Copies of this chain bind each other. A is one copy, B any other.
Amino acid sequence: MEKDNTYFGVKEIARRANVSIATVDRVIHNRTGVSEKTKKKINEIIKALDYQPNILASRLASRKIISLAVLLPKVSPETDFWEAPLKGIDRAQQEIKKYGVQVTTFLFDLNDHNSFNEQTKLILEGTFNGVLMAPSFVEEARGFVKACNKLKIPFTFIDSDIPDQENLTYIGPHLFQSGYVGAKLLTYRLKEKHKVLVVNISKDTDTYNYLQIEEGFRSYFKDHNLPGEIIRVDIKDTDSLSVTRDLKRILHTHEDIEAIFVTNSRVSAVASFLEKNKRGDISLIGYDFLKENVRYLNEGLIDFLICHKPEEQGYRGLMALYQTLVLGTAVEKVHFMPIDIITRENQAFYQN
């Protein structure tokens, strides 16, 4: 049970370089106040010894704390999707708080662009070392990102991406491919000549997200030369009455719709409609492992749920900041989540 002592630390480096460990510390952290000569000598020894700093000792000795800000949509009664990333963030926090990492959460209202700006203002007023955010409002997020860049605060995107920003990393789904998978799954339940409905239930229907998913969805049919028709409907009022009204109208106009693809987690609203109107014959696919959705999955009203590990997105997003700020190691610029397929049969063991 003895530790092998082939290990070399700052002490050994200092001994070999004929300097004090304080000077070694300065070189390791690229601090000023060391002559080029000794700096070079020390760096050579570090390389020769393949020195790996002991993070435990480092974090223990340094009384610094690292403050991270998390900016996410509020969990709403309409969809509790955002619970999952928050849970992942919490898990990460539990894991790294011993290294002196502190997390403050800021929540905005998905129905109110202005609330996003209010929260970002609060973040900028604080003194945070890094930011994890869901850039749900593209324009507003762009402005915030600019401010972060100016302050040299690193930031991470989860859930959706904004191209060409200096974000540390994006952790989330490949939306196009996810829609592609959705189409593939739907074809299992389709006749030769399909008539399919794409439903988008959201206040911001023109969001980059949904367009990407739909494009992927349509591409599958195109790539495989599947004959038929894809109808789409935007439902901007997300309350159940509006959804019911709009769906009723559509299904009345297009009686022969065989399948519905919902581009987000509101699929339970459609499932509820199908149940009430005894249209269990229509195949239904949508997004996210929410309680309501899983209930309809188990009742057979939803055929498949697609899910992009929202909890893991939160976990990894925070860990990415930890890695750069504490460990100083590199992180990939993009990390796509798996496109998980959930059915009634495998749902019991799904890990968000």
Q: Indicate which residue in B1, B188, B349 contacts A64 across the interface (CB closer than 8 Å).
A: B1
Judge whether B338 and A1 touch: CB under 8 Å. no
Interface residues contributed by chain A, number (CB under 8 Å): 41
Q: Indicate which residue in B54, B338, B349, B351 contacts A60 across the interface (CB closer than 8 Å).
A: B54
Judge whether A98 and B181 touch: CB under 8 Å. no
Q: Mark A160-184, 1 if CB is under 8 A from B, else 0.
A: 0000000000000010010011001
Q: Which residues of B contact A55 (CB under 8 A)?
A: 98
Q: Mark A321-352, 1 if CB is under 8 A from B, else 0.
A: 00000000000000011111101111011110
Min CB–CB distance A180 → chain B (angstroms):
5
Q: Does A57 contact B (CB under 8 A)?
A: yes
Judge whether B54 and A174 touch: CB under 8 Å. no
Q: Mark A89-126, 1 if CB is under 8 A from B, else 0.
A: 00000000011100000000000000000000000000
Q: Indicate which residue in B56, B100, B177 contacts A346 across the interface (CB closer than 8 Å).
A: B177
Q: Which residues of B contact A343 (CB under 8 A)?
A: 181, 184-185, 341
Judge whether A346 and B339 touch: CB under 8 Å. yes
A177 and B1 alpha carbons, distance in the complex (Å): 43
Q: Does A59 contact B (CB under 8 A)?
A: yes
Q: Indicate which residue in B180, B189, B336, B341 contacts A341 across the interface (CB closer than 8 Å).
A: B341
- Nearest to A189 among chain B residues (CB) is B188
A64 and B3 alpha carbons, distance in the complex (Å): 6
Judge whether B54 and A98 touch: CB under 8 Å. yes
Q: Indicate which residue in B63, B98, B344 contacts A56 across the interface (CB closer than 8 Å).
A: B98
Q: Which residues of B contact A350 (CB under 8 A)?
A: 338
A56 and B59 alpha carbons, distance in the complex (Å): 8
Judge whether B60 and A56 touch: CB under 8 Å. yes
- Nearest to A182 among chain B residues (CB) is B345
The B-contacting residues of A in range 142-169, CB under 8 angstroms, are none
Q: Which residues of B contact A241 (CB under 8 A)?
A: none
Judge whether A63 and B345 touch: CB under 8 Å. no
- Nearest to A127 among chain B residues (CB) is B1
Judge whether A346 and B341 touch: CB under 8 Å. yes
Q: Which residues of B contact A4 (CB under 8 A)?
A: 65
Min CB–CB distance A57 → chain B (angstroms):
6
Judge whether A3 and B100 touch: CB under 8 Å. yes
The B-contacting residues of A in range 210-254, CB under 8 angstroms, are 220
A106 and B300 alpha carbons, distance in the complex (Å): 46
Please provide the 9 A-B residue pairs with the shortest distance between their CB atoms, ordered closest to farther. Answer: A339-B346, A188-B188, A341-B341, A56-B56, A181-B345, A3-B63, A338-B349, A184-B345, A181-B346
Q: List 25 A–B pairs whose Cβ atoms lie within 8 Å, in order of A's numbering.
A: A1-B64, A1-B65, A2-B64, A3-B100, A54-B60, A54-B98, A56-B56, A56-B57, A56-B59, A56-B98, A57-B60, A60-B60, A174-B348, A174-B349, A177-B349, A180-B345, A188-B189, A220-B345, A337-B349, A338-B340, A338-B346, A338-B351, A339-B349, A341-B341, A341-B346
Taking Cβ atoms with an 8 Å cutoff, the residues of A that contact B are: 1-4, 54-57, 59-60, 63-67, 98-100, 174, 177, 180-181, 184-185, 188-189, 220, 336-341, 343-346, 348-351
Beyond A1-B65, A338-B346, 4 additional pairs, beta carbon < 8 A: A3-B65, A56-B57, A177-B346, A339-B345
